[in-house]
Amino acid sequence: MVNNLFFIFMFLIALSFNKASAAEIEYYWSGAVTKNSAVVCFATDIDAKIRVQYSDNINFRRNNLFSRTQRCNSESNYFSKIKLSSLKPEKTYHYRFSVDGIVDKNKTGRFRTHSSGPFSYKITLATCATTGSNNPVFDRIREEESLFYLMLGDFHYGDIRRDCDDNFLTYYRATLGSIKQSKLYQNTAIAYMWDDHDYGPNNSSGVSPNQYGYVACQPEARSAYKNYVPHYPLAFKESGKVISQSFSVGRVTYLLTDLRSEKDRPLFKGNCLSPTSENCKKIKRGTNFGSDEHIQWFKNQLLEAKNNNFAVVWHSSFPYLSTPDLSWFNCDEDNTIKTDEGFECDDHDNWGWYPEERTDIANFIKNNNIPVCIVSGDAHMSAIDDGTNSDYATGGGAPIPIFHAGPLDRKPSIKGGPYSNGVSGVRGQYGIMEIIDSGGDELCVEWKIKNHRGEFVKNTTGNLLQHSFCFDLGE
């Protein structure tokens, strides 16, 4: 009897030790979904060998597939990713993890593959969430069961400028570890492009400091994004500088443009405290794209979509609709960066400071008759313009519908405008974009805003903040 109790005691100790030492999945999310593939990113707490089991059966009782084995270790901060292939179109797939040969049945995720042809679908989109936010708005987004969630920037508010590698790891873990956010990312595929706060400090650029003298951790930001985020193929492959990417869903091409990591602000000289200052001169134009190669990639994607009879949803991370003439009013000592040649101003962080580049883009869209709309972040508001105020082509001819969706969980702020359909500056909001496509010459888009209670949002004048329009995709 004593011997039996001893063996039982030792068995329980051994079992407890094995359980304590076993690796566990800490974070996971999916993205880069196509009609036949997807990417799952995940992280463990200690060294482990991981396989992903995936099936179109929620109980994993049939049609089971296993990925290749991937190692998580300290060299990658225990993060890794696996591409799932051999998927079927228009299927909901469920996945879970085999950790060192043992399937964890408690941590599951799901995503839905795209159709192989024209189809109608819904996506959710939003911007600006306080780091680690657990706002109920994330539950409402998850309950929409959209095809994917488009994160428009400011995924967190790290404002990282020092201890770069460690801080990016910390802020990604804090965000992915939020209870409500993690449930969203585990149940809805994501597409995500950064803005300033999740790339670097407030109003970050590629080469210049902000008004406080802080410079973004450029290489570390890119490395963290590439390693931790389930993203689509990058414009210039994994070795490239920018993280811009293009992907198509049905007959819509989505262009997620990195307008931060190579941004070069305009340079001024003279007295620029007033818009009527005669001795204020711009001595260097600015660029959000940063290079001719990048802007050419963007134009090529627009043309390819047009040639395929696709519509374009362009994600510009900050307001496109803003005053066409530079406003000098707020470019004072508090937000001016002085150089040997002149000064830069990081206030008015919008397209209004880059009129030459914006006009060039608008003219290209006009001259090639490209069907395009813009979804945008950065501003802590929801807003819609039907194109009435957003035509920046020379002589007109390129009115572009614009949709701001947010803020998820930040203090409201109104930027840009005016917006034809109004604005709403209340925290805890997200956007819904429905693509209605039966395969004919016409493809239609519907925009709506909801709050953290799942209610449709009204603008400041009491009207529902919504808009619908159609593109002619015929020859």
Residue 277 scores a pLDDT above 80: no
426: its two tokens: 């209340």
Residue 14 scores a pLDDT above 80: no
Residue 287: Cβ within 10 Å count = 22
pLDDT tens digit sequence for 343-390: 787 665 789 889 999 999 999 999 999 999 999 999 999 999 999 999
361: its two tokens: 């883009």
- pLDDT for the residue 322: 86
Q: Which of 17-26, 160-169, 180-189, 245-254 is the least confident region?
A: 17-26
pLDDT tens digit sequence for 391-421: 999 999 999 999 999 999 999 998 889 999 9
Residue 171 scores a pLDDT above 90: yes
Q: What is the mean pLDDT of residues 83-109?
A: 97
- pLDDT for the residue 279: 74
Amino acid at the residue 467: H
- In this structure, what DSSP letter does residue 163 have? S
For the chain, domains (ranges, CATH) are 24-115 (2.60.40.380), 117-472 (3.60.21.70)
Across the chain, what does the average pLDDT equal?
91
Burial label for 325, CB within 10 Å (0-12, 13-18, 19+), is exposed
**Cβ–Cβ under 8 Å, residues 87 and 93:** yes
More confident residue, 205 or 172: 172
- pLDDT for the residue 475: 65
pLDDT tens digit sequence for 193-203: 999 999 999 98
- pLDDT for the residue 11: 47
Q: What is the 3-state secondary structure (H, E, C) of 112-125?
A: ECCCCCCCCEEEEE
pLDDT tens digit sequence for 115-129: 999 999 999 999 999
- pLDDT for the residue 335: 65
